[in-house]
């Protein structure tokens, strides 16, 4: 039995006042039981959110990190720096990083490695574009993306979280059906089983237009262990509804 995990991805949203209000509203609810919760926030707000989440059940996350440990890499943020602010999770290979910043499978794999070396759980995002799905390439694409991370991380692979995020579902309101998502999750689980004796306890999240209305049906699928939530994570009632659905699922 895998504990569900719901992670908010704030992307490039928020400010000091809005973050404080959102977290106040999230923390006003009783502590989540039977479900782990995290929020991945923009780097400038790590210190603020770290302080506001201290002693609470919500874990801190980041949205990206450098593959390098230290040195002359202007603008980059290392895993150790994130660790200094109590970061527990870090997204790697989000499709917006792959698409707008040219991140390759190999770079994503190296970032996962850097996170693991610092004791941060990488949430490795994989997913196909609409064109790839229509061309029947979904399986090839997600397997290739995950294979690179498996190849670079050896037995440490057991410590990652995977997020299946079909690119066509991200921010579009066009959610994958529970069956479509489950089919890909089952495939990813098989790939993890071949790579790790611990695949049964590893979490595979779904992301892409998850909201209060569709979360329960997605989270009821046998291989969907939680959600990576963008837009709906910015509204406390919506994010809390998704957490409640995960607690029941």
Q: How far apart are CA 35 and CA 155, in angstroms?
A: 26
Q: State the minimum distance, in angstroms, from the CB of residue 207 to ligand PGA.
A: 4
| Alpha-helical regions (H) of the chain | 16-27, 46-53, 79-84, 95-100, 105-117, 130-134, 138-153, 178-195, 215-219, 236-248
Applying CB under 6 A, does 167 fall inside the site for ligand PGA? no
Tell me, what DSSP letter sits at residue 88? E
Nearest to 229 by CA among 160, 153, 156, 169: 169
Among 122, 166, 230, 249, binds ligand PGA (CB under 6 A): 230
Rg (CA), the chain: 17
Q: Which is nearer to ligand PGA, 195 or 229 (CB)?
A: 229
Neighbouring C-beta atoms of residue 172, cutoff 10 Å? 13
**Residue 170 binds to ligand PGA (criterion: CB under 6 A):** yes
The residues annotated with a catalytic role in the active site are 94, 165
Q: Is 208 one of the binding residues for ligand PGA (CB under 6 A)?
A: yes
Q: Containing H/E element for 6? A: strand 4-9
| Strand, coil or helix: 36 | strand
Site for ligand PGA in 4-63 (CB under 6 A): 9
Supply the minimum distance, in Å, between the C-beta of residue 197 and ligand PGA. Answer: 29
Instruction: Tell me whether residue 169 or residue 195 sits nearer to ligand PGA (CB atom).
Output: 169
Q: Which stretch binds ligand PGA (CB under 6 A): 15-23, 110-118, 154-162, 165-173?
A: 165-173
Residue nearest to ligand PGA (CB): 230
Contacting residue, 60, 161, 195, 210, with ligand PGA by CB under 6 A: 210
Binding of residue 214 to ligand PGA (CB under 6 A): no
State how beta strands 121-126 and 87-92 pair. parallel
Number of chain positions touching ligand PGA (CB under 6 A): 13
122 binds ligand PGA (CB under 6 A): no
Closer to ligand PGA by CB, 195 or 218: give it.
Answer: 218
Our finding on whether 181 is near ligand PGA (CB under 6 A) is no
Query: Among residues 49 and 167, whose Cβ is nearest to ligand PGA?
Result: 167
The pair of structure tokens assigned to 35 is 């479900």
Rounded Cα–Cα distance for residues 228 and 164 (Å):
9
Contact 60, 88 (CB under 8 A): yes
Residue in this structure with the two tokens 């106040």, named with its chain if needed: 24
- Contact with ligand PGA (CB under 6 A) among 184, 231, 239, 242: 231
- Binding residues (CB under 6 A) for ligand PGA: these are 9, 165, 170-171, 207-210, 228-232
């Amino acid at each position: 039995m895998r504990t569900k995990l719901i992670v908010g991805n704030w992307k490039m949203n928020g400010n000091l006042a809005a973050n404080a209000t959102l977290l106040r509203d999230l923390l006003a609810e009783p502590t989540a039981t039977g479900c782990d919760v995290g929020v991945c926030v923009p780097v400038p707000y790590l210190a603020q959110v770290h302080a506001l989440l201290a002693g609470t059940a919500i874990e801190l996350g980041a949205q990206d990190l450098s593959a390098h440990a230290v040195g002359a890499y202007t603008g980059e943020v290392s895993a150790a720096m994130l660790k200094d602010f109590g970061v527990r999770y870090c997204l790697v290979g989000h499709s917006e990083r792959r698409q707008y910043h040219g991140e390759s499978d190999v770079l994503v794999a190296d970032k996962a490695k850097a996170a693991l070396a610092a004791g941060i759980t990488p949430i490795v995002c994989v997913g196909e574009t609409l064109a790839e799905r229509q061309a029947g390439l979904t399986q090839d694409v997600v397997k290739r993306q995950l294979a690179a991370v498996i190849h670079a991380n050896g037995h440490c692979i057991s410590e990652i979280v995977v997020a299946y995020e079909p690119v066509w579902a991200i921010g579009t309101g066009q959610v994958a059906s529970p069956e479509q998502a489950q089919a890909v999750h089952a495939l990813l689980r098989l790939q993890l089983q071949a790579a790790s004796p611990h695949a049964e306890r590893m979490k595979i999240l779904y992301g892409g237009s998850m909201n209060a209305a569709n979360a329960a049906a997605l989270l009821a699928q046998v291989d969907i262990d939680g959600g990576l939530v963008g837009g709906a994570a910015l509204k406390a009632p919506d994010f809390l509804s998704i957490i409640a659905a995960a607690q029941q699922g």
